[in-house]
Structure 1
Amino acid sequence: MPEGLPTKKKAAFTLSEVLITLGIIGVVAAMTLPTVLNDIQDKQFKTAFKKQYSVIAQVVQKAYLEEGETPAPNKDWRQMPKYFCRMQKELNALKSGTICPDNIDDMSYEIGGWEGDTDWPSTGEYYWHKENEWFDKQGKPYFRNPAYSALAMLLPDGTLLQYICANQIFIDVNGYKKPNVIGRDIFYIIVNNNRITPTFLYESYGSNGSINGCSGSEYSVQITSRNYKQDCESGSGWGCSMLYLLD
């Protein structure tokens, strides 16, 4: 370049401009990252739920083929021991709230096989969340009938399974780990007579067909073919179970 001509300087960012830009990127990342991570986690929970649904459906069908019956809906909870013990064995449960005999075939489905709470063969360990340690999708602390506390088990992959209200099974695919929220990592399935199918409980059993209905009206929800999508999006979260199974 000839002497005396002005040189052309290259444009550059000042330090303050760089810091401001990095700050904006950090704020945007902080706002969007939790949503992205939750979406990824929810997809994993959904996949895990559908897998457990398939496995449990096979176990229930096997029990029916071997026994010729499964506990009828809305019956006395003392019908449950043999059925629960068979599920516990087939699912290779690591731990359970019920002590099962070596020979399950010697047990009976008859009501009164064990006379009331005091004779129930409980291990004294309850493998479900304590009251106020699990929540609906709106953040409300949840509760389940303690009469069914012994009908819960811990599976090898960490899944918690709670039999409730004689014909419902709660599943936490994430075990004791958070979030412990209905519709995210907690779901339900229905034992519909001799099998498990995607079932709208209210439409199958009428006024008795409420999810968690044996735990009181404050903690029960009626999920129907008309409201399950809305419930999943902005309600209790129980509707997500049907939404994912019918997806």
Structure 2
Amino acid sequence: MKKLKAFNMVEIMIVVCLLMTTVILCIPTIFNNSKQARIISGWKRLYGEMQSNYEVYNVSDAATVDKICKSNVPEKEPEIFRVISPYLNVDLSKNPNSLKNYHYKFKNGAQVPMQSLVFTKFFSYQENNNVVGFKWLTCNCSETKPCATVLFDMNGVEKPNRIGKDIFGVYVYKNKIEAFGSELSNHELERDCNSHSSGMTCSEYYLRGGQF
């Protein structure tokens, strides 16, 4: 009887150890999934907010940007950003110089080339410490040709700083904003938003309810 009880205790200890090992192994996955869900939820909320803000900007300050474009100001991007920044919830009291060492990459780890529409060195903090990247593309923009690119790092300066993981973005047009990948079908988005891609289309993919 004692041997049987001892054997049962050994079995119980083995089961407990296995359960503890399983839990320990699962914790990072659970944490990462929870963190990713929080980031994507934040992105959806932010995108809706940016759409509303852009409507206000179009009525209130689009003409001011047009004036800057027609002026002789050599460096138009900082001037235009100063006008647009309130609509991006940028906190101008926070020193953007602290972001000089901020770097980001594509989802697959590739460097973002300087000639890319999404390459910028112009970063600022939002009021919630998220990071905003801004790039003025051209004054000769239209309803189909983007005026600017805006990146949102939903994780702030914390890594991974990857487009499609914690960084999402929009193109700003004359009459609208659209997330990266908005022109693609659901099937194309699902196929393209993966760890081997640039991650660009993930911005629209998650807005449409795509799973990470």
Aligned residue among 199, 207, 211 for 1:237:
199
Query: Cα 1:182–1:92, aligned 2, differ >3 Å: closer, same or farther?
Result: closer
Q: Which residue of 2 aligns with 1:103?
A: none
- Distance between the aligned counterparts of 2:48 and 2:80, measured in 1? 18
Q: Which residue of 2 aligns with 1:246?
A: 208
CA contact (8 A) 2:106 2:162 kept: yes
1:20 deviates by 2.1
- Aligned pair 1:153/2:150, yes or no? no
- Distance between the aligned counterparts of 2:135 and 2:113, measured in 1? 8
- Aligned pair 1:127/2:120, yes or no? no
1:9 deviates by 7.4
Aligned residue among 180, 186, 189 for 1:228:
189
| Unaligned residue ranges in structure 1 (runs of 5+) | 1-7, 72-76, 98-124, 204-223
Name the aligned partner's letter for residue 77 of structure 2: M
Aligned residue among 172, 179, 199 for 2:160:
179
1:157 deviates by 0.8
- Distance between the aligned counterparts of 2:193 and 2:160, measured in 1? 16
Larger fraction in helix: 2
- Distance between the aligned counterparts of 1:22 and 1:135, measured in 2? 42
Aligned residue among 87, 92, 111 for 1:142:
111
- Structure number with greater Rg is 1
- Deviations for 1:198-243, whole angstroms, at most 9, x for unmatched residues? 4647x5xxxxxxxxxxxxxxxxxxxx43632222134222221111
Q: Which residue of 2 aligns with 1:108?
A: none
Q: Which residue of 2 aligns with 1:82?
A: 79
Say which SS state the counterpart of residue 159 (structure 2) adopts.
coil
Q: Which residue of 2 aligns with 1:12?
A: 5
- Distance between the aligned counterparts of 2:60 and 2:102, measured in 1? 34
Say which SS state the counterpart of residue 162 (structure 2) adopts.
coil
Say which SS state the counterpart of residue 95 (structure 1) adopts.
coil
- Deviations for 1:114-173, whole angstroms, at most 9, x for unmatched residues? xxxxxxxxxxx1637634xx34333x1534649842x32101211100013622111101
| Unaligned residue ranges in structure 2 (runs of 5+) | 67-73, 138-147
Q: Which residue of 1 aligns with 2:140?
A: none
- Distance between the aligned counterparts of 1:148 and 1:81, measured in 2? 13
Aligned residue among 137, 160, 168 for 2:149:
168
- Distance between the aligned counterparts of 2:136 and 2:190, measured in 1? 23
Name the aligned partner's letter for residue 31 of structure 1: L
Query: Cα 1:164–1:229, aligned 2, differ >3 Å: closer, same or farther?
Result: farther
Q: Which residue of 1 aligns with 2:33?
A: 39
Name the aligned partner's letter for residue 228 of structure 1: L
- Distance between the aligned counterparts of 1:86 and 1:96, measured in 2? 17
CA contact (8 A) 2:181 2:202 kept: no
Say which SS state the counterpart of residue 12 (structure 1) adopts.
helix
Name the aligned partner's letter for residue 242 of structure 1: E
- Distance between the aligned counterparts of 1:68 and 1:180, measured in 2? 31
**Superposition TM-score, scaled by structure 2 size:** 0.69
1:61 deviates by 2.5
Name the aligned partner's letter for residue 88 of structure 1: S
